[in-house]
């Protein structure tokens, strides 16, 4: 087993994408858009046709985002076998269906065919790398690189290793994704659902509860999100949002003042005990995020972003209406 | 008690804002920006100065959003007494501190001084109107009109009556807020936290749990939101998001296929039982929201919006950098 990367993250030219469904295909589109050579493999008989059609539909979006130099759909090759797909790869993105036995076998196969020192990132959302890396001869270079759908647009990638992954592989993958244009969170420990999905699932379950109880409809829930907290969450996460809700006193004031309302029956999610330790940790870490910006500055930045988002969304609607022949609003 | 509105929502000229803190002051700014005459009252000794300064800082944002004809900061009057503030009002927005006894007394006072047939909307986030309207002589015209911070920017207002509110008042308030530029959800029943805050609180509690357990930092949580689900939630709510996650099969496929993963330990929020009834209700209501749009159409619309948002946010960052004298990126 090697502990030395075959190439530096900066020198990656060829990415192998194993599994080319919605997520795998989204990765293919992303890597093509960033100028990489991409070799894909998927065992489904109609995989290539579906993949090329997915890339075709994603391409206008990638063009609007701005293609990297040399980026082209022609840089996509579909390999007939997994071994051929990974043989010349500088990095492998695995996006197979979410079945543990299948993922474990596939990662072992990838590892066996892959040159030494090449890192593999798995798109898994449901399993930990510790569970999946058990069959591979060299589990040290297998890490999770969990994207959000569509991977060619949503910047977030959560990177984390398993028990047998080595730190160099986690660091290498994090740096590679960053160079490939993603917003990377390198996690210190495995956590079911990682971070983004835990938050997303909490919202989703609360939504299901409301519909189950007949308290709100799907339309009301979606409207409440897009015209309410969702607008802010595109640029201020939940912690910065609540920091601002504390006014000049920030997170500390928010927790000290509204702490008791944590116990209000506002969701079906049980509230954590607001211990002094948790309170202090929230305040301290929020201070780091705020990084010296005053409340007035944060508010000015928030307002500007919210308006920019609303205007951008209105502009898209005007364009779409014009395209439908409804003329300008 | 009257059941006839004094004026139609279209004819409202003067809005009284009772309570002029962050939320009340935000309402003042909103109504001024939409061209209304606003009369404010707040018992704090320095309330007027703080209010005018809040309106001053909100004004550039309102200008960027587009002021209504005749909109002016000069249309703000601060009244010396509550009775004088509401005497000529066509609508009253109450935004007092979140204390039940105080709110109940204040609403009774407003009601006593207010002409017949004028509706009162309360900004409360923590109490139901049924709890708050108990002391008023005419509780029938008291409803909740719950905004999000800042009320002059976030479009959402959740409108709901209490046990003693009459439907005409709920409908009147909904229509008025709509005319005043808000995105209105008229709820059929009282629900602690309404809809938006229940979702927001679910996310917030999950965030607190992660920090409490040392699983993620504030910075990671905020980044996971803004660079992940938060970008989509500015235009597709949680239900439409998961509808798309189901691919061509939409919400039905999502629930039938990923239903079991609902039980995965992805948040501390207990999952609801996915009964056939809940499954069918989700599918049916999602169909209404989707309104005949194909998956391809939805994806094209999503991609376009996400790119517009990201470009708009980048543009704001470039502008801010230029203003700081860092030159163009």
In chain A (329 residues long), the average pLDDT of successive 10-residue segments reads 81 98 95 98 95 91 90 98 98 95 98 97 95 97 95 94 98 98 96 94 90 91 93 89 80 78 71 78 81 80 83 90 75
- CA–CA gap between residue B236 and residue B214 (Å, rounded): 31
How far is residue A147's CA from residue B5's CA, in Å, rounded to a whole number? 53
Q: Token pair of B221, please?
A: 């949580």
Question: What pairing do the DSSP bridges indicate for beta strands B119-122 and B37-41?
Answer: unpaired
Q: Domain ranges for chain B, please list them.
A: 9-186, 228-323
Q: Please tell me the distance from the alpha carbon of residue A190 to that of residue B215, in angstroms, as a whole number.
A: 8
- Sequential DSSP letters for A80-148: SSHHHHHHT-SEEEE---S-HHHHHHHHHHHHHHSPTT-EEEE--SSS-HHHHGGG-S-GGGEEEEEE-
Name the DSSP letter for residue A160.
E
- Write the ipTM: 0.91
The DSSP element (H or E) to which B41 belongs, if any, is: strand B37-41
Q: Which of B222, B228, B232 sits opposite A240 (nearest CB)?
A: B222
Mean pLDDT of B86-106: 96
Verify whether the Cβ–Cβ distance B267 to A58 is below 8 Å: no
Which of A124, A235, A249, A258 should be substituted to probe chain B, the one whose Cβ sees the most B Cβ atoms within 10 Å?
Answer: A235
Closest chain A residue to B288, measured at CA:
A219
What single DSSP character describes residue A227?
A: T
In angstroms, the CA A78 to CA B296 distance is 24
Residues contacting residue A273 through CB under 8 Å, at least 6 positions apart: B212
- The per-residue pLDDT for B1 is 46
pLDDT of residue A57: 85
To the nearest whole angstrom, how far is the Cα of A115 from the nearest Cα of chain B?
32
Question: Is A83 annotated as ligand-binding?
Answer: no
For residues B298-317, average pLDDT = 84
Residues 6+ apart with CB under 8 A from B137: B108, B111, B112
Q: Are B81 and B43 in contact (CB under 8 A)?
A: no
| % of chain B residues with pLDDT over 90 | 63
pLDDT at B259: 67
Q: What is the pLDDT of residues B113-135, one digit of tens each?
A: 999 999 999 999 989 999 999 99
Chain B interface disruption, residue of A63, A189, A202, A324, most B CBs within 10 A: A202
Largest CA distance in chain B: 64
Class of domain A9-186: alpha beta
What's residue A298's pLDDT?
Answer: 80
Distance (Å, rounded) from C-alpha A189 to C-alpha A186? Answer: 9
> At a CB cut-off of 8 Å and minimum separation 6, what does A70 contact?
A35
Would you say residue B260 has pLDDT above 70?
Answer: no
A261 inside 8 A of chain B by CB: yes
Average pLDDT across chain B, whole number: 90
Q: What is the per-residue pLDDT for A329?
A: 43
What pLDDT is stored for residue B327 in this prediction? 56
Q: Give which of B9, B64, B68 is closest to B33, Cα–Cα.
A: B68
Nearest alpha carbon to residue B150 among B220, B198, B95: B95
β pairing state of A156-161 and A142-147: antiparallel
Among B19-23, B52-56, B158-162, B247-251, whose mean pLDDT is lowest?
B247-251
Residue B56 token pair = 């001053």
Q: Does B300 touch chain A (CB under 8 A)?
A: yes
CB proximity B329 to A under 8 Å: no
Q: Give me the residue from B224, B245, B266 closest to A149, CB to CB.
A: B245
pLDDT of the residue at A111: 98
> What pLDDT, on a 0 to 100 scale, did the predictor assign at position B81?
97
The values of phi and psi at residue A55, to 5°, are -65, -40
Chain B residues in contact with A64 by the CB 8 A cut-off are 304, 307, 311
Whether residue B188 contacts residue A199, with contact meaning beta carbons closer than 8 Å, is answered with no
Give the best residue of B29, B198, B265, B323 to mutate against chain A (max A CB count within 10 A): B198
Identify the weakest region by mean pLDDT among A17-31, B200-214, B289-303. B289-303
Q: Which of B32, B167, B7 is nearest to B90 (CA)?
A: B7
B227 vs A155: CB contact, 8 Å cut-off?
yes
How many helices (DSSP H) and strands (DSSP E) are in chain A? 13, 8
pLDDT of residue A104: 98
Among positive and negative, which fits the CA dihedral B171, B177, B180, B185? negative
Contact A154 B306 (CB under 8 A): yes
Between the two ends of chain A, the Cα-to-Cα distance in Å is 63
- Strands A119-122 and A37-41 turn out to be unpaired
CA proximity to B243, closest of B232, B251, B252: B251
In the numeric block, which tokens belong to residue B127? 């109490």
């Amino acid at each position: 087993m090697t502990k030395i990367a075959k190439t530096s993250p900066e020198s990656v030219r060829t990415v192998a994408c194993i599994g080319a469904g919605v997520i795998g295909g989204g990765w293919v589109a992303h890597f093509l858009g960033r100028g990489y050579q991409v070799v894909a493999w998927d065992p489904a008989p109609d995989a290539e046709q579906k993949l090329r059609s997915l890339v075709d539909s994603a391409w206008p979006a990638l063009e609007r985002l701005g293609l990297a130099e040399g980026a082209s759909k022609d840089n996509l090759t579909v390999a007939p076998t997994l071994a051929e797909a990974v043989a010349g790869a500088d990095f492998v993105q695995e996006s197979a269906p979410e079945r543990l036995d299948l993922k474990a076998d596939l990662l072992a196969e990838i590892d066996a065919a892959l040159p030494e020192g090449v890192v593999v990132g798995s798109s898994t959302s449901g399993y930990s790398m510790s569970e999946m890396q058990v069959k591979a001869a060299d589990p040290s270079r297998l890490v999770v690189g969990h994207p959000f759908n569509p991977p060619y647009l949503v910047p977030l990638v959560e990177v984390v290793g398993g028990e047998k992954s080595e730190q160099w592989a986690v660091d290498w993958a994090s740096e590679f994704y960053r160079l490939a244009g993603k917003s990377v969170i390198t996690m210190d420990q495995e956590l079911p659902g990682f971070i983004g999905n835990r938050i997303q699932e909490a919202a989703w379950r609360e939504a299901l509860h409301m519909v189950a109880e007949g308290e709100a409809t799907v339309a009301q829930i979606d409207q409440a999100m897009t015209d309410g907290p969702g607008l802010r969450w595109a640029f201020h996460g939940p912690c910065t949002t609540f920091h601002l809700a504390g006014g000049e006193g920030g997170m500390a004031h928010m927790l000290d003042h509204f702490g008791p309302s944590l116990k209000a029956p506002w969701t079906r999610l049980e509230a954590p005990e607001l211990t002094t330790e948790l309170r202090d940790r929230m305040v301290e870490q929020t201070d780091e995020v705020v990084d010296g910006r005053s409340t007035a500055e944060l508010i000015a930045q928030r307002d500007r972003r919210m308006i920019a988002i609303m205007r951008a969304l209105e502009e898209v609607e005007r364009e779409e209406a014009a395209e439908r022949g409804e003329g300008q609003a």
